[in-house]
A and B are shown apart, each in its own frame.
Chain A
Amino acid sequence: MQYIDNIIFLILLVAGFGLFAKSLSKIYRNIRLGREINRSDHKAERWETMARVAMGQSKMVKRPVAGILHLFVYVGFVIINIELVEIIVDGIFGTHRFLSSIFGHSFYNFFTATLEILALLVIIGVVVFFIRRNFYGVKRLTMKELFGWPKHDANWILIIEFALMMAFFKMNTADWVLQQRGLLPEHGSFPISSTFLAPIFNNFSDSVLFFTEKAAWWFHFAGILFFMNYLYYSKHLHIILAFPSTWFANLNKKGKFNNLESVTKEIKLMMDPNADPYAAPAEGAEADVPSKFGAEDVFDLNQVQLLNAYSCTECGRCTSVCPANITGKKLSPRLILMKTRDRLEEVGRNIDKNGKFVDDGKKLLNDYVTKEELWACTTCNACTEACPILLDPLSIIFEMRRFLVMEQSAAPQELNLMMTNVENNAAPWQYNQADRLNWAND
């Protein structure tokens, strides 16, 4: 019976990681429902961008308060990961503070002391975030579009982080007091625990302390597993997906929108006086013509756009700078990504249930995102500039506009007029091309 702890630990560990892997594979499968896009060029620049933006959080410094607090919490996340190594070894083999045997005395002291300080910073960050989000009224965090799950989600994660860090301190304090009493070998240095919590813990009996240390350790471990599996249901997926999202980010100038190759072919044929319009398409040519122009549903978006939808932190930096949103229009770039994710999840559940996607009579366009939102976008790129993890809501808006115009001819009337003018007069207004130089003689 002496191995019962180790066995329970192993079972939890395998189940936790197994579930997590399952969620990740679901995300991967869903993302692959999108169109393929080649973003494997400029590898060096991509690694550099990822290191700078995702790891170095270079875009977070634009808002210093949020930036620094976020850094605390982020570092906390990293701690959790380093910690996890020690926890796993201790848990499987029943050792106590395994890393001390590898690091040596003084380095382990340094290591544990650093973790304590970082954990304190996390607590500060989490508390301030909680207040900002719930009582202080930063507009982008209190907008109507976040009511319901997104708001609870944000709070839950703060609470979980807080609880995890508290468990961490309790564990350390109990350990430290026991070490002082000579009941545990002396490993580590705990500046925060020994100063702030030890005075309380000193009053506890040995057995209470042993129990607290174990309980906090288990809580911490189970908490991490829970946290990990919670990610799938949360905007906090960004702590993982920010990495691929920044790696696959668009490296072109923001003003450069893609040209549809299939259209080029068709127009070249039209312009070529020698082309036979009735000629059968060359063998294999059919394959690279997409079945439709633009995007009506998640299947028509590309895989990076779908990855973006899963990565979005719902921080609203994009929406808070969107000129359309600022002036009270329905468009919110954040909401475009949130809805894309919702629809993609719905499609995923459909596939889980039926084995393959069975038409549910719904589409991203109209059922989730309305035309009114799409037409309000000025393509100004404020949203893409603001996003701390280089997401591109504009590209999704743009693809859906393409669908509206090229597949459904559903542009607002005035735009139809403009487009006809461009087509017939080579200018968006109804002027004659022959008059183009009249200004010189006015």
Chain B
Amino acid sequence: MDFNIKTMAEYAAEGKSPEVLFWVGCAGSFDDRAKKITKAFCKILNKIGVEFAVLGQEESCTGDPAKRAGNEFVFQMMALTNIEVLNAYEVKKIVTACPHCFNTLKNEYPSLGGNFEVVHHTQFLKKLMEEGRLKIEGGAFKGKKITFHDPCYLGRANDEYEAPRMLLEKLDAELVEMKRCKTNGLCCGAGGAQMFKEPEKGNKDINVERTEEALSFEPKIIATGCPFCNTMMTDGVKHFNKNTEVEVKDIVELLAEAEDL
């Protein structure tokens, strides 16, 4: 299926504004694995006819990794630039598939002058489902074991545990919870700018610890809701040589698959 991707600039040129701005994020734009998540999400939006736009070249990093590494200068430079762009387009609503972008846009931009309604893609799709715009038939996953890894920046950081689970339930799969889930979820090891450096010395890597826990349930699929978690868990699965048996997939990828998109 072909995409239909329009930028904010194109909408503006037509004198229109979309229902929602899709904030793609750096991982979603550049990381080969995460790009698949981006595309899956766009396919779903296209299919149900949600009018959305991306910023494209006008998008910058939200500044999250710089901020959490401790560099407030670089963070605010990004934030203030982004806010200027967003405000110029009079953006009201933003959806993003990255919990780090989500958190930063939602919580840290307002006091810098960026006030938007920001939702995570799972929250957005949940809403669409409740409104009857999105319908999922779960046939493809019937009876398959799926476990969901809570992203820290969606879960503990913003108290959203239900939206991803509600979508997964629609797949008709067998959802198993890890012992460390929801408020007790264990980090994948990527947050706080850890993604961009070698871990400090220890007994093992955090993603290995986390994947071990997930694999102990012998799931067919480890579901994620964050491109960084996705990478970490994928690496973890490879570490245990299970990559032929167990898939790591973002929730939107599963939904797109269920719909055969």
Task: Knowing A330-B200, A422-B78 are in contact, say whether A381-B152 is a contact too (CB < 8 A).
Answer: yes
A216 CA to B67 CA, complexed, in Å:
59
**Contact residue among A253, A271, A382, A402 (Cβ-Cβ distance under 8 Å from B159):** A253
B residues near A437, Cβ cutoff 8 Å: 5, 7, 29, 54, 56-57
| CB–CB B202/A327 < 8 A | yes
- Closest CB in chain A relative to B55 CB, distance in Å: 8
> Is A412's CB under 8 angstroms from B197's CB?
yes
Contact B69 A415 (CB under 8 A): yes
A372/B200 contact (C-beta < 8 A), A255-B153, A380-B152 known: yes
The total of Cβ contacts below 8 Å across the A-B interface reads 220
With A and B bound together, what is the CA distance between A431 and B30 in angstroms? 8
Chain A 313-350 interface residues, beta-carbon cutoff 8 Å to B: 321, 323-324, 326-331
B63: nearest residue on chain A (CB-CB)? Answer: A422
Q: Is B115 an interface residue (CB 8 A)?
A: no
Q: Decide if B108 touches A406 in the complex (CB within 8 Å).
A: no
A253/B74 in contact, CB under 8 A: no
Contact, CB under 8 Å: B158 / A429: no
Chain B positions within 8 Å of A271 at CB level:
80-81, 84
Q: Within the assembled complex, what's the spacing in Å between the Cα atoms of A412 and B192?
A: 13
Is B214 engaged at the interface, CB distance under 8 Å to the other chain? Answer: no
Cross-chain contact B70 with A411 (CB below 8 angstroms): yes
Considering only residues 379-434 of chain A, those with a C-beta below 8 Å from chain B are 379-382, 385, 398, 401-406, 411-412, 414-415, 417-419, 422-423, 426-429, 431, 433-434
CB nearest to A330 among chain B residues: B200
Q: Contacts A401-B70, A414-B196, A423-B77 hold; do A378 and B206 have CB atoms under 8 A apart? A: yes
Cα A402 to Cα B75 in complex, Å, equals 12
Among the 9-residue stretches B88-96, B165-173, B181-189, B219-227, the one with 4 or more Cβ atoms under 8 Å from chain A is B181-189
Contacts of A382 in B (CB 8 A): 152, 156, 184-187
> Is B205 among interface residues, defined by CB-CB distance under 8 A?
yes
Asked if B139 is at the interface of the complex by the 8 Å CB criterion, the answer is no
Q: Which of B57, B76, B187 contacts A436 (CB 8 A)?
A: B57
How far does the Cβ of B231 sit from chain A's closest Cβ, in whole Å? 12
Distance in Å: Cβ of A420 to nearest Cβ of chain B:
9
Q: Does B1 have its Cβ within 8 Å of any Cβ on chain A?
A: no
Report the bound CA distance from A321 to B209 in whole Å.
12
Contact digits for B59-78, partner A, Cβ 8 Å, 1 yes 0 no: 11101011111111110111
User: What residues of B have a CB within 8 angstroms of the CB of A439 in the complex?
Assistant: 24, 28-30, 35, 38-39
Docked complex Cα distance between A271 and B59 (Å): 17
Q: Which of A260, A418, A422, A434 gathers the greatest number of chain B CB atoms within 10 Å?
A: A422
Neighbour of A259 across the interface among B3, B56, B72, CB < 8 A:
B72
User: How many angstroms between the C-alpha atoms of A406 and B76 in the bound complex?
Assistant: 13
Taking A253-B158, A328-B202, A329-B201 as contacts, is the C-beta distance between A259 and B112 under 8 angstroms? yes
Q: Are B30 and A423 in contact (CB under 8 A)?
A: no
- Pick the contact of B206: A255, A327, A405 (CB < 8 A): A327
Q: Which of A92-100, A120-128, A261-269 contacts B (4 or more CB under 8 A)?
A: A261-269
- Interface pair B187/A380, CB less than 8 Å apart: yes
- Report which of A321, A380, A405, A435 forms a contact with B192, defined as CB distance below 8 A: A380
27 A-B pairs, CB-CB below 8 angstroms? A253-B159, A255-B158, A256-B103, A259-B111, A264-B80, A324-B200, A327-B205, A329-B199, A330-B201, A375-B197, A376-B199, A380-B152, A385-B184, A401-B69, A401-B70, A402-B71, A405-B70, A406-B72, A411-B69, A414-B196, A419-B66, A422-B61, A423-B74, A426-B61, A435-B29, A439-B39, A440-B5
Q: Which residues of A contact B (CB under 8 A)?
A: 252-257, 259-260, 263-264, 266-268, 270-271, 293-294, 321, 323-324, 326-331, 372, 375-382, 385, 398, 401-406, 411-412, 414-415, 417-419, 422-423, 426-429, 431, 433-440, 442
Question: Given A328-B204, A422-B61, A428-B196, 14 more contacts at CB 8 Å?
Answer: A293-B72, A327-B203, A327-B209, A401-B70, A406-B71, A419-B65, A422-B74, A423-B66, A429-B30, A431-B29, A435-B29, A437-B29, A439-B24, A439-B29
Q: Which 5 A-B pairs have the closest CB atoms?
A: A255-B157, A328-B203, A379-B192, A328-B202, A401-B70
Binding site for A on B (CB under 8 A): 3, 5, 7, 24, 26, 28-31, 35, 38-39, 42, 54-57, 59-61, 63, 65-74, 76-81, 84, 103, 106-108, 111-112, 152-153, 156-159, 183-187, 189-206, 208-210
